Amino acid sequence: MTLFAMVLIGSAAVAQALPVKTYREIKAWKGDRVTVVASAPGEAFTLVSAHKEAQRPWADALFERNTAEGKTLVRHAYDCANATYRWMGEARRFRDLSLSITSMDQMRDRRLEPGTVEYQLARYVCAL
């Protein structure tokens, strides 16, 4: 088996592990900021809001990360079918999210890796 075939099979396996739920129309959800949807040592994430585009396996989400130092908003965009995400900003206040992006490289597609917080967040949002 070629390396290309192994990477392709591995990518498909990761993508298949994420739920890919689509809708006929745009859907939006408001989180309660209480229910923890993902966690790692010293941090817990709650959903602020999420939305999915009509008939596409994409989702955008805004989370609140709670740590001992305080609360931070984190925005991600997900391609549920391909198991990738984009970091779209992080700040203490909503109006400062876009200011946290200082280069296009920060918003590049990143592979979701099982066992990471990003993967937990993606599984939650992709299943909505």
- Measured in whole angstroms, the distance separating CA 111 from the mean position of its chain's CA atoms is 11
Domain ranges of the chain: 34-127
- Condensed to tens digits (0 to 9), the pLDDT of residues 32-64 reads 989 999 999 999 999 999 999 999 999 999 999
Digit-coded pLDDT (tens) for 61-108: 999 999 999 999 999 999 999 999 988 888 898 888 776 666 767 667
Using left for φ > 0, alpha for ψ between -120 and 50, and beta otherwise, residue 41 falls in beta
The residue ranges of DSSP E strands in 33-126, in sequence order, are: 36-40, 43-52, 58-67, 70-79, 84-91, 110-111
The residue-averaged pLDDT of 17-42 equals: 93
pLDDT at 60: 94
Distance CA 66, CA 55 (A): 33
